[in-house]
Chain A
């Protein structure tokens, strides 16, 4: 058995964990350790070989591995210790202990503050309960991405993709470049789930049709996938079977959403939100257990890694302050989603904070000219009007530091569309 004592321990060496750890060191935490189950740091970015990362954070277009490597260098320079091939098993919050397993056996890490940065995982066929047989050739888009980009496997020739999430669209392009024929991207909702830029570069460029308001109602094939049956859906998302069509294919990729991976958080008794499936946090990214913080996709699924880095730097900074005993506590008000808003993160605002508070949120439906507003009992705190919004794009509003002390009642975020699109 091995024991470590540190100020801040971070679980996961993906983009969130690396940024949090570097920031914790810069904010005065002396000993910072990252736990990583993989053989290499970088998390999911290692398989995201496409460009488009870093436009906001570095002002430069990078691929996923390049973006990750920049943070790996930062972490090494900052003196962050990374324990590779080590899996975090259990949080014992009362003892401030993280129990891990490695090739050498049990590893116990005693911490001042812990940052959850485990990322998310993909929803699978089982989550959707798609009927039909269970042949080979049905993959989640991210698994396919790993098999193609890291292991160099050819996974199929005739491809259908369910879900218009970003990974699905990016795999549509990748499979096309690898010589496969992508027959369609099928989306249940009447609008695109991922970013518009990905539709342009990944679908339109390769002439791949996007079928909105459609779903898969059957899968056939014994050993290998032979076909999928696609049907349009009515306004209640119910398939219209009379209009179903069979599409022969040998590969089905699922890009149907991501779920924060919070099994570890549950072992420590961290309160989770039913909507984000991530921890309930305040503006310091601090959970209801004050020694535990959360950031990146394990907190709420982000669109852009640049955003994850920025948010995780906050988490690392405040975790370092907590470990040093200088993070403000005290009264906190609840932040609630109002009209047109699905969720807001953070869910709480501590009034004694000294910095501006950025509220991140998603709207419920796409719309043209939209007014985003945050109010408390006394009235409006901040407002922005955008030419268009979509649930696929995370929005934000800022409560200024000097507004914090005077906040009253519940804080509510709303999005009012002048014209709703769907």
Chain B
């Protein structure tokens, strides 16, 4: 199988060509760094994305607080992550990087606060 991937690891946006039948014989060309190799391999077999959203918070001068996952989650779980985030309601104080949901949806990564609200 042949695939053209635009690497999104950094703003350089390398155009990478992938050719494979299985994970073992994958050949990548056009990447600019090692992180690109990891990203493009994932992109062929199990695409992942960092999930970000905002969740309800009480006691701050804004109604929503930004959150993100500590690492990428499988792409097909993004909508489920969003549904789960809608159920969350927090109260101040919250510190940036504080864990909101450990092992978020059993993805192995945590959902953390991305802002300090006191």
Contacts and interface: CB of A to CB of B under 8 A. Distances in A.
A159 to B, nearest CB: 16
A63 B68 contact: yes
B6 A197 contact: yes
Nearest to A63: B114
Q: Among B15, B61, B79, B114, which residue has the most Cβ atoms of chain A within 10 A?
A: B114
A148 B64 CA distance: 9
B96 to A, nearest CB: 6
A127 to B, nearest CB: 28
Given A55-B10, A195-B11, A69 B115 contact: yes
Contact of A303 (B6, B11, B50, B63): B11
Contacts of B15: 387-388
Contact of A66 (B8, B49, B115): B115
A151 B64 contact: yes
A56 B9 CA distance: 11
B116 interface: yes
Nearest to A303: B11
Given A65-B96, A152-B64, A200-B8, A49 B50 contact: no
Contacts of A66: 96, 114-115
Contact of A195 (B13, B114, B116): B13
A102 interface: no
A262 to B, nearest CB: 27
A49 B6 contact: no
Contact of A177 (B10, B53, B62): B53
Given A49-B53, A69-B96, A150 B64 contact: yes
Given A65-B114, A197-B6, A51 B52 contact: yes
B114 A150 contact: no
A206 to B, nearest CB: 9
A66 B59 CA distance: 20
A183 interface: no
